[in-house]
Amino acid sequence: MTDAVMAPERRPGRFSGSVRWFVSDLRGAFSLTFLVALFVISVLGPWISPYAPAAQDLDAALATMSTQHWLGADDLGRDMLSRLIYGGMASLYASFLAVTIAVLIGVPVGILAGYLGGWVDTVISRVIDSFLSFPAIVLAIAVTGALGIGLTNGMISVGIVFSPQLARLVRARTLVVRNELYVDAARCFGGSTPRILWRHVLPNAIQPVIVQVTLLLAAALLAEASLSFLGLGIQPPDPSWGSMLARAYQNMEIAPEQMYPPGLAILFTALAFNTLGESLRVALDPTMKRN
Per-residue pLDDT tens digits for 217-230: 999 998 888 888 88
Neighbours of 21 (CB within 10 A): 17
pLDDT at residue 15 above 50?
no
Q: Examine residue 119 and state whether it is found in any structural domain, yes or no.
A: yes
Interval 165-186: pLDDT, tens: 999 999 988 888 888 877 878 7
Q: Examine residue 27 and state whether it is found in any structural domain, yes or no.
A: no
Between the alpha carbon of residue 28 and those of residues 20, 64, 169, 207, 271, the distances in Å are: 12, 35, 23, 18, 11
pLDDT score, position 5: 40
Neighbours of 253 (CB within 10 A): 6
Would you put residue 147 in left (φ > 0), alpha (ψ -120 to 50) or beta? alpha
Q: How far is the C-alpha of 280 from the C-alpha of 290, rounded, in Å?
A: 10
The CATH number that applies at residue 166 is 1.10.3720.10
Q: Examine residue 51 and state whether it is found in any structural domain, yes or no.
A: no
pLDDT score, position 1: 43
Mean per-residue pLDDT, 120-148: 83
Q: Examine residue 229 and state whether it is found in any structural domain, yes or no.
A: yes
Q: How far is the C-alpha of 111 from the C-alpha of 104, rounded, in Å?
A: 12
Q: How confident is the model at residue 21 (pLDDT cuts 50, 70, 90)?
A: low
Between the alpha carbon of residue 250 and those of residues 18, 81, 107, 123, 229, the distances in Å are: 46, 19, 41, 46, 11
**Beta-bridge partner residues of 236:** none
Q: Examine residue 1 and state whether it is found in any structural domain, yes or no.
A: no
Range of the domain at 190: 72-284
Q: How many domains does the chain have?
A: 1
pLDDT at residue 257 above 90?
no
Q: Examine residue 29 and state whether it is found in any structural domain, yes or no.
A: no
pLDDT score, position 247: 86
Q: Examine residue 291 and state whether it is found in any structural domain, yes or no.
A: no
Q: Examine residue 154 and state whether it is found in any structural domain, yes or no.
A: yes
Q: Among 5-14, 198-207, 248-257, which stretch is predicted with the lowest mean pLDDT?
A: 5-14
Q: How confident is the model at residue 291 (pLDDT cuts 50, 70, 90)?
A: low
Q: How confident is the model at residue 14 (pLDDT cuts 50, 70, 90)?
A: very low
Interval 184-212: pLDDT, tens: 787 787 777 788 888 888 888 888 888 88
Residue 155, class by beta-carbon neighbours within 10 Å (0-12 exposed, 13-18 middle, 19+ buried)? buried
